Amino acid sequence: MKTMSVKTNKKPLSAFQKRKKADNLAGYLFLLPALIAFVLFIGGPMLLSLALSFFDYNLIQPLEFVGLKNLKRFIADPQVRIAFLNTLKFLVILVPIHCILGLLLAFAVSRVRSGRMRSVYRGVIYFPTIVTTSSVAIVWVYMFGTDTGVINYFLRQLGGSNVPWLTDKNVVYLTVALFSFWKFIGTAFLYYFIGLQNIPDVYYEAARIDGAGTRQIFLRITLPLLSPTIFFVVVTNMIGVFQIFDEPFIITGGGPGTATKTMSLYIYQIAFQQMKTGYGCTLAFSIFLVILMMTLLQFGGQKKWVTYDYE
């Protein structure tokens, strides 16, 4: 993204821009609504959250300064380790699913010649993302029931035995992964699809003339030219998975045991069920730090594989 802004600076200024060169007032005026909202709902709360982690607060009784008590608790809390580990597991499972399968699907659909079929496929694959997560999650709970569920019924019919979709601490990850694929693959798919549409045909034609096969075209042309999109999808996906809440909350309730208890679920429990607002802020801030580190690492690493200058 840095490269992009550098590029615009290099562009010759239009007559209009020259005349109103340093339009500081206009720039900030247009930015003002966003800035106010940003300070109120993102930046400000972020700092407030840091400050609150040094207090005990239950919304009713007055704030009580407790120094590093919450931090000490954070370090000693076994639930924190479990929740971080689970979040990490989701990261390792879900990010590749979305980033890789989404790309392959987008590539496959973009290869479909018939425009009508292409839009049908695109529509269907994207469709689950537009429906209410909580309502379809409810549906999945019914479908994945061990004894009464639809899925196990068919497995039994096919001669298999019941799969403990929601009652085994390992299988439950498969269940959530299946749900996540079905529900959210459309998002990554769509970003890739846009990216693919934007690759000028000339590149493909040139490659075809050179006699390249599908696989070669994919590896040599699609992948490099799509790298900014891939980068974008990976980063947004990782941030998204770190906030995963709806699925464990509705489908598994964080269980069985603590198998799918994620950080955001834990924060919800601490802050909004147990009313330990201060400690909740400590937890929340820790997530922010981890995401920040991860994203910085990725931005550092992007130079090696992301190319922005094909246009």
Residues of span 170-199 touching another protein by CB under 8 A:
182, 190, 193-195, 197-198
Q: Which stretch binds another protein (CB under 8 A): 64-72, 115-123, 201-209, 215-223?
A: 115-123
DSSP assignments along 258-279, one per residue = TTT--HHHHHHIIIIIS--HHH
Interface residue with another protein, options 92, 117, 206, 297 (CB under 8 A): 117
CB of residue 234 to another protein, shortest distance in Å:
13
- Chain position carrying tokens 């068919």: 154
> Looking at residue 56, what DSSP letter applies?
E
CB of residue 198 to another protein, shortest distance in Å:
3
Interface residue with another protein, options 68, 75, 92, 120 (CB under 8 A): 120
Q: Which is nearer to another protein, 58 or 216 (CB)?
A: 58
Q: Which stretch binds another protein (CB under 8 A): 52-60, 64-72, 201-209, 301-309?
A: 52-60
161 binds another protein (CB under 8 A): no
Interface residue with another protein, options 93, 145, 155, 204 (CB under 8 A): 145
CB of residue 296 to another protein, shortest distance in Å:
9
Interface residue with another protein, options 74, 221, 236, 307 (CB under 8 A): 236
Peptide bond between residue 200 and the one before it cis (omega within 30 degrees of 0): no
Tell me the longest C-alpha to C-alpha distance in the chain. 78
In the region spanning residues 241 to 280, those forming contacts with another protein, defined by CB under 8 A, are: 242-243, 245-246, 249-253, 255-259, 263-264, 267-269, 271-275, 277, 280
Give ∠ CA 289-295-298 in degrees, rounded to 5.
Answer: 145
Q: Which stretch binds another protein (CB under 8 A): 90-98, 131-139, 203-211, 215-223?
A: 131-139
- Rounded to an integer, what is the distance from CA 296 to the centroid of its chain? 16
1 binds another protein (CB under 8 A): yes
Interface residue with another protein, options 10, 24, 65, 209 (CB under 8 A): 24
- Residue at 165: amino acid letter: W
Interface residue with another protein, options 66, 155, 168, 207 (CB under 8 A): 168
Q: How many residues does the chain have?
A: 311
Q: Which residues contact 234 (CB under 8 A, 6 or more apart)?
A: 95, 99, 298
224 binds another protein (CB under 8 A): no
In the region spanning residues 63 to 102, those forming contacts with another protein, defined by CB under 8 A, are: 78
Phi and psi at residue 64, to the nearest 5°: -130, 120
64 three-class SS: strand
Interface residue with another protein, options 90, 173, 231, 285 (CB under 8 A): 285
How many of the other CB atoms lie within 10 Å of CB of 294? 15
User: How is residue 242 written in tokens?
Assistant: 């770190």
Tell me the site size for another protein, rule CB under 8 A. 129
CA–CA separation, 101 and 94 (whole Å): 10
